[in-house]
Structure 1
Amino acid sequence: MTGQAFPPKPTHPATSDPLQEGSTAPTTPAGKFLASLSIQQILLAVILAVFLWQWFDAHLQLNDMQKDLARRLADMDGNNKANQVLTKQIQESMRELSVKVSVLETHSAEAQSQRAALESFYQDLTESRDETVLAEVEQMLMIAGQQLQLSANVKAALIALQQADDRLKRMDRAAFNELRRAISHDIDKLRTLPDVDVQDINFRLDNLIEKIDSLPLIQDIAHASLEKEITIVPPAGEENTWKKLIREMWGDIKRFVRIENMYKNELPLLPPAQSFFLRENLKLRLLSARLALLSHDEAIYKHDLQTAKKWVEQYFDITSTAGKLFVFNLQSLWESSIDIELPDVSASLEAVRNYRSSLGKVSR
């Protein structure tokens, strides 16, 4: 182990190993060197070679590890720089997002305040709209009641009630169902009434009043026929002087002398002033019948028409076309019945007023 060579043992020729005798001595320097080494030296050399080889291999692995570590460090450095850039971008994005979030929060607060204002405004608008609709419905119901009370116009009152019901129907509110029931009940009352066309009768009376001034009087027809009778048409040819004188004298005699049946019941001739008042009184009779029609007073209505018909038959020419048509219209109007019992439609009006008062109490 110390590296010191032991002296070779002396060999005796007589006792030499036949193998050694048969082997040949190494002749090369390496062989001589190997032959001169002992087993311990060879073992030591092998161990040294293994150690050198392990050291070299470890050195190579260490170099590889250093290179890999350097590469990884370089990659990590690049990644760190990229992460720093990304981090800066993220920070900038976060700052922008924070600004946007603050702006959105501001807008959200404004939107909430506006929403609250809109809800308050919508509530006020809804209440105001309900109040407006109820006011319109109340006005329509008042018109219906006035049409029935003042002019007994059932058709106009029915139209007003239907318009009020349609106005509530368009609102589509469950709170208005009771009001609609009351209005529908009043509508059913009016629909059960007999159909009396007051407007048509009123229009026909107006036409008769306008035609009074053009009605011919009996005395006008009689005077015209008398003048026609006493008028002598001269002959077409030449007339002798004596014949002309005799014709004129005969015409004068017929004018002075008139033969009539004194037992015949005829009216005296009316002066123009009395003819004017006769026509005006006839108009007043028809106007009175018109007022009785609007108030549905059938007794006065028929009495005025009967009186007007009597006057027409007594003083006017009923044989003419205008006279016949006038008397026919008077008779037709007299046969029309206007006697209807008007119902009370104030229930729906009271219901609307009560509902409006309840809304006013709730709002206060």
Structure 2
Amino acid sequence: MTETNTSSQESATVNALASAAKARRRPTGPSWMATIAIVLLLLVILLATGAWHLQKRYDNVGREVATQIQLFNNQVSEARAQARQAITLADAHAVRIALLESSLRETQNQYSLLEQAWESFNKGMEDSMLASDLERLLSLASQQLRLSGSVNNAIMALEAALSTLVRADRPKFSAVQRAISTDLDRLRAAPVIDVAAISARLDSLNSLITRAPLLVPDLKANSVQDLNAVARNATANEQAASSGTQTAPVIQSAGANDQSLSWWESAWIRSSDWVLQSSKKLMTSLGRELSGVISIQRVNDASALLMSPEQGAQMRANLRSRVLTAQMALLMHQPAIWRSELAAIESSLNTRFDPKAVDTIAALGVVRELAAASISVAVPDIVDSIAALEAVRVSEVGSKSGN
């Protein structure tokens, strides 16, 4: 019992001490429940404030979204209206394009018809123009052959016609092309007269006639003789000077070799040499002058010695005119006139001019050479080409009249 009481007392003592300790640890401020309540109240206030702000912001965003949706709806309405207008315009354009396509097809059909008509018309016009050009070239070639006998010019005209036909490439003119080719071959094979060379020989003959001296002195011959005399005197002076310069060393050498002779013997030798050289010069000059004054020659026509200087000049002019006539006969291919003019020139050279003069001999040689040349050559014609072109023209006229 005692132990039980003791333990009860001890328990009571412990409980009293525990209660005292709890009493000592109890705080003096508000309790923890109040603190939690305050914290919860603050949280509620914060949450309410945040919710209000969120609601306000949500309302603003909703209003903005509604405004944008309204704008979008307005734009969609405008776009629909524009789309309807575009569809209307597209339909109108499609109708217009269809009309334009139909008019384009009609225009193309009309253009093709006009092109066909123009091709047929142009083909006829080209054939007519080609025939006219060929006729002009063939007429030119025929004129060159008949009037002047110029084979080269006729060949050039036919070559131009042939090149025109080759470029045109018309089957209708094939016969004309073959005829022109045949005529070209015949013309190229024909002999050709060298007119340029013969004309040059005629010019040289004219110059020789101008320089050749007559049997009697005339105006031209006097001037030529004066020039020849001046030339001869100049040549004689040069020869004399050269002979003097050549004899002086001889005399000096002779004096040098004869130093053993006396002075009067040396002077005599020099004097005799000088007299000998002077006499030779004097005789040479006298012979030259006398040969120019006196001449002996045989004359077949005595009237040639009675010509005056004016008549001699007139005769030279007549001979030059005959040379010009012979040149015209060469160009015109007239052999009769050619031979008669050259014969007259040769007769005048034989009877009126000095036969010993170099120019007269050269002029006679040129005249005989020209007289031996033939200026009459058988020139072929181009009748086949002209006939072929005429046949094409006749066929074209017949086809037009038949249509």
TM-score, normalised via structure 1 length: 0.57
Cα deviation, residue 275, structure 1: 1.8
2:102 paired with 1:105 = yes
Cα deviation, residue 138, structure 1: 0.7
Secondary structure, counterpart of 1:268 in structure 2: helix
The equivalent residue for 1:33 is none
Structure 1: distance between partners of 2:197 and 2:116: 53
Residues 288, 94 of structure 1: alpha-carbon distance in 2 compared, 3 angstrom cutoff: same
Counterpart among 126, 142, 154 of residue 139 in structure 2: 142
Cα deviation, residue 359, structure 1: 1.7
2:163 paired with 1:166 = yes
Residues 351, 86 of structure 1: alpha-carbon distance in 2 compared, 3 angstrom cutoff: same
State whether residues 172 and 392 of structure 2, in contact with CA within 8 Å, keep that contact through their aligned partners in structure 1: no
Structure 1: distance between partners of 2:113 and 2:195: 56
Mapping 1:1-364, distance limit 5 Å: 93=90, 95-202=92-199, 204-205=201-202, 208-209=205-206, 212-213=209-210, 216-220=213-217, 221=221, 224=225, 261=296, 267-316=304-353, 326-364=363-401
- The one-letter code of the counterpart of 2:305 is P
Cα deviation, residue 99, structure 1: 2.0
Secondary structure, counterpart of 1:219 in structure 2: coil
Structure 2: distance between partners of 1:136 and 1:210: 45
State whether residues 209 and 360 of structure 2, in contact with CA within 8 Å, keep that contact through their aligned partners in structure 1: no
Structure 2: distance between partners of 1:118 and 1:214: 75
Secondary structure, counterpart of 1:273 in structure 2: helix
Cα deviation, residue 171, structure 1: 0.3
The equivalent residue for 1:16 is none
Structure 2: distance between partners of 1:340 and 1:183: 21
More deviation in 114-123 or 310-319?
310-319
Cα deviation, residue 334, structure 1: 3.0
| Equivalences, count | 256
Structure 2: distance between partners of 1:128 and 1:306: 57
Residues 306, 264 of structure 1: alpha-carbon distance in 2 compared, 3 angstrom cutoff: closer
Structure 1: distance between partners of 2:166 and 2:134: 11
Cα deviation, residue 308, structure 1: 1.7
> Once the two structures are aligned, what percentage of the paired residues are identical?
27
Residues 145, 318 of structure 1: alpha-carbon distance in 2 compared, 3 angstrom cutoff: farther
Structure 2: distance between partners of 1:134 and 1:181: 15
Structure 1: distance between partners of 2:307 and 2:126: 68
Cα deviation, residue 264, structure 1: 6.3
Structure 2: distance between partners of 1:332 and 1:124: 61
Whose RCO is larger (CA < 8 A, sep 6+)?
A: 2
Larger helix share, 1 or 2? 2
State whether residues 153 and 198 of structure 1, in contact with CA within 8 Å, keep that contact through their aligned partners in structure 2: no
Structure 1: distance between partners of 2:373 and 2:351: 23
Residues 199, 166 of structure 1: alpha-carbon distance in 2 compared, 3 angstrom cutoff: farther
- The one-letter code of the counterpart of 2:108 is A
What's the CA shift string for 1:242-268, capped at 9, x where partnerless? xxxxxxxxxxxx99xx87758766740
Cα deviation, residue 95, structure 1: 4.8
What's the CA shift string for 1:194-232, capped at 9, x where partnerless? 12123543465356447755555453347947x969x9x
Structure 1: distance between partners of 2:397 and 2:297: 84
Residues 211, 353 of structure 1: alpha-carbon distance in 2 compared, 3 angstrom cutoff: farther
- The one-letter code of the counterpart of 2:107 is E
Secondary structure, counterpart of 2:190 in structure 1: coil
Cα deviation, residue 103, structure 1: 0.4
Secondary structure, counterpart of 1:143 in structure 2: helix
Residues 109, 311 of structure 1: alpha-carbon distance in 2 compared, 3 angstrom cutoff: same
State whether residues 318 and 327 of structure 1, in contact with CA within 8 Å, keep that contact through their aligned partners in structure 2: no
Secondary structure, counterpart of 2:152 in structure 1: helix
Cα deviation, residue 135, structure 1: 0.7
State whether residues 141 and 155 of structure 2, in contact with CA within 8 Å, keep that contact through their aligned partners in structure 1: yes
The gaps in structure 2 that reach 5 residues or longer are 1-81, 234-288
Cα deviation, residue 189, structure 1: 1.6
Structure 2: distance between partners of 1:179 and 1:259: 75
The gaps in structure 1 that reach 5 residues or longer are 1-84, 232-253
- The one-letter code of the counterpart of 1:149 is R
Cα deviation, residue 320, structure 1: 6.5
Structure 1: distance between partners of 2:97 and 2:115: 26
Structure 2: distance between partners of 1:346 and 1:287: 33
When the two chains are superposed, the root-mean-square deviation of aligned CA atoms in Å is 4.0
Structure 2: distance between partners of 1:262 and 1:323: 15
